[in-house]
Chain A
């Protein structure tokens, strides 16, 4: 009880919401990447790998090109490259997606350590390298409004990109020709192909878009959340993003809501740690929430399928009855 009474004032504060938005940034971006993937019906779990790779390449890129934009671009290229390698193997070489996903994730996990060691001679992190971070932005007028200002202003540039990405993803999926193609390829590849849509190409394009979103998410980790790269720093955020998009059934706006929900669980976990709660158990919370979320959507889908089957049967019965009546 003592713990809860200590926790509550922390939760109901403007700072808490500010932290939630900050912590949710990579989750939102990754959820958008996963939403695009889900719409195209590609079961990728490599967002984790894309994020990790762009995190490393991005932060080292800023130091090698000596500019923020150079690093950002290199990071995005890195993440898109991983997405394209995945796409090529999955789509053109017909590789089983789960296996390929795990292998790619592990590949990136070790390859980043290898690169880190080869380039700067350290295995754990890149903190010795001078690199740039994304700037923090204070929104001019909103900044001065008491509570809303604390919540919305003063975030990293990536956070605003993340919020923008939700609308971009929504626009791509629902308002653009490309989105229509992606959705039709996802729903029914055969009929899409019969209408002259190049299924493979459309899926590759969806991988590129996912790669860009995941790239920003990775860059947030190493160029904003921390100012350097550490080994395995993405720590399952890619999977949480997938869970959010699964819960949202691939709808970007809903994806935002679920990503924020996972963000809340992560911040509560962080707050509990500060209150002397055993930190290992606090660390488990986001993952447990994710599993529970997957169970809820999974069973909802199962029920829907059953209901769908029943509805069809009912319709058939209706038709039969009508036919008999006539």
Chain B
């Protein structure tokens, strides 16, 4: 029926409005950011210009952007997998943090394995650490019906203490002045692919982009992904059509944990000399923002992560050139999330557009039938 080019389907209008809403959300947030700069800055115009173009002004700043993009790419993939099954597991933050510890325990071993294998072993250890964390809220929700949001948030608080214990106690290198583990073995390090004025872009970004493709394949091209999306859209329908919802949630958590594990290992072994996080990094929260911006599509996570890394690099530059604190980016980030999540935004005009379109389609159809009726002689006209 709708093969005629002039017909527009409702899904297309919905998609169009999703795009409009995303653009609107980002614009509003950036305007909000300008407002904050305007209020706090002593030289607002220069600062706004710096904020807009800073990462593109030098090679080292652009390299900084790529470095910042790396960890948040991985966490956003983890969140994509969780959110497409509509699992509000917020322990990604803690999982990423713990994965860094478990992988570091392997990475610091000297003469352990030859070059690529050592990294892989560390990544596997990282994955196991992350799985151990992410599986807890999922199982508690399934077995005990415990509120997964509050549980996973509480778990994050527990892991802050655990991480602090590990870095100040058993895993600390006592011969080093700061709280950090031993030096990561050279065999476990990731190669540097671009050195721009001291800013070393490591191989993690390539792994990240490959993982995006894998995640996209998992979500859109496998049975698991299809089932997960069904569970995400309508859990009751999924249950009635024979999908094992519990299994999907557990497997989804494990896949998400694997991305966390690989990400944490790449980040630590690519960028740092020692593992030195005495507090969670916040990358888990960044992942949530990017996944929402990307509509849970892993391929859109790449531009999403680039956007966040862009404004974060800008904020870093601003932090040095003016009196504006880095936290401005985190504030803006939350505004982006809120604006995109606000489904009611523009919903009236969306409904109007859909109704208008339906009327238009119906008219087209009537005219067509009329035309067909004229050529083939009189025909019954449907009401």
Binding site for B on A (CB under 8 A): 45, 89, 92-96, 98-104, 106-107, 109-111, 113-114, 117-118, 123, 235-236, 239, 242-243, 246, 278, 280-281, 283-284, 287-288, 290-291, 294-299, 301-302
21 contacts between A and B (CB under 8 A): A95-B342, A95-B343, A99-B288, A102-B285, A102-B337, A103-B338, A104-B338, A106-B285, A106-B334, A107-B334, A107-B338, A109-B330, A110-B334, A243-B154, A246-B147, A287-B157, A291-B151, A294-B146, A295-B146, A298-B145, A299-B145
Q: Does B165 contact A (CB under 8 A)?
A: yes
CB distance from B34 to the nearest CB of A (A): 14
Instruction: Check A45/B331 contact, CB under 8 A, given A94-B342, A236-B157, A287-B157.
Output: no
User: What separation, in Å, do the CA atoms of A45 and B153 have in the docked complex?
Assistant: 10
* A93 partner, pick from B39, B155, B334, B342, beta carbons under 8 A: B342
Q: Does B158 contact A (CB under 8 A)?
A: yes
User: What separation, in Å, do the CA atoms of A278 and B169 have in the docked complex?
Assistant: 10
Q: Does B161 contact A (CB under 8 A)?
A: yes
14 additional contacts (CB under 8 A) given A93-B345, A101-B149: A94-B343, A94-B344, A96-B343, A103-B334, A103-B337, A106-B330, A235-B157, A239-B154, A280-B161, A280-B162, A280-B165, A294-B150, A294-B154, A299-B145
User: What separation, in Å, do the CA atoms of A114 and B162 have in the docked complex?
Assistant: 28
Contact B151 A103 (CB under 8 A): no
Name the A residues within 8 Å of B151 (CB-CB). 291, 294
Q: Does B144 contact A (CB under 8 A)?
A: yes
- Majority SS of interface residues in chain A? helix
A283 closest partner in B (C-beta):
B161
Name the A residues within 8 Å of B88 (CB-CB). 98
CB distance from B306 to the nearest CB of A (A): 21
User: What separation, in Å, do the CA atoms of A113 and B328 have in the docked complex?
Assistant: 9
Q: Does B58 contact A (CB under 8 A)?
A: no
Contact B145 A302 (CB under 8 A): yes
Name the B residues within 8 Å of A236 (CB-CB). 153-154, 157
* B158 partner, pick from A93, A246, A278, A287, beta carbons under 8 A: A287
User: What separation, in Å, do the CA atoms of A283 and B168 have in the docked complex?
Assistant: 15
Q: Does B347 contact A (CB under 8 A)?
A: yes
CB within 8 Å of A: which of B114-146? 140-141, 143-146
B153 closest partner in A (C-beta):
A239
Q: Does B110 contact A (CB under 8 A)?
A: no
* A295 partner, pick from B144, B334, B341, B342, beta carbons under 8 A: B144
Contact A114 B157 (CB under 8 A): no
User: What separation, in Å, do the CA atoms of A243 and B345 have in the docked complex?
Assistant: 32
CB distance from A230 to the nearest CB of B (A): 14
Contact B140 A295 (CB under 8 A): yes
Name the B residues within 8 Å of A296 (CB-CB). 144
How many contacts between A and B, using CB within 8 angstroms?
A: 134
CB distance from A36 to the nearest CB of B (A): 17
User: What separation, in Å, do the CA atoms of A203 and B329 have in the docked complex?
Assistant: 32
Q: Does B327 contact A (CB under 8 A)?
A: yes
Report B252-286 CB contacts with A as 1/0, cut-off 8 Å. Answer: 00000000000000000000000000000000010
CB distance from B116 to the nearest CB of A (A): 35
CB distance from A229 to the nearest CB of B (A): 15
User: What separation, in Å, do the CA atoms of A176 and B328 have in the docked complex?
Assistant: 43
Contact A290 B331 (CB under 8 A): no
Q: Does B164 contact A (CB under 8 A)?
A: yes
Q: Does B325 contact A (CB under 8 A)?
A: yes
Instruction: Check A102/B154 contact, CB under 8 A, given A96-B343, A283-B161, A291-B140.
Output: no
Name the A residues within 8 Å of B150 (CB-CB). 45, 239, 242-243, 246, 290, 294
Contact A96 B341 (CB under 8 A): yes
Name the B residues within 8 Å of A284 (CB-CB). 157-158, 161-162
Which of B143, B161, B333, B345 has the most C-beta atoms of chain A within 10 angstroms of its own C-beta?
B161
User: What separation, in Å, do the CA atoms of A306 and B335 have in the docked complex?
Assistant: 41
Instruction: Check A110/B147 contact, CB under 8 A, given A100-B338, A118-B39, A281-B165.
Output: no
Report B79-102 CB contacts with A as 1/0, cut-off 8 Å. Answer: 000000000101000000000000
Q: Does B28 contact A (CB under 8 A)?
A: no
User: What separation, in Å, do the CA atoms of A281 and B161 have in the docked complex?
Assistant: 7
* B292 partner, pick from A93, A99, A298, A301, beta carbons under 8 A: A99
Contact B144 A102 (CB under 8 A): no
Name the A residues within 8 Å of B162 (CB-CB). 280, 284
Contact B145 A107 (CB under 8 A): no
CB distance from B151 to the nearest CB of A (A): 6
Contact B334 A104 (CB under 8 A): yes
CB distance from B78 to the nearest CB of A (A): 15
Name the B residues within 8 Å of A246 (CB-CB). 147, 150
Q: Does B36 contact A (CB under 8 A)?
A: yes
Q: Does B244 contact A (CB under 8 A)?
A: no
Name the B residues within 8 Å of A103 (CB-CB). 334, 337-338, 341
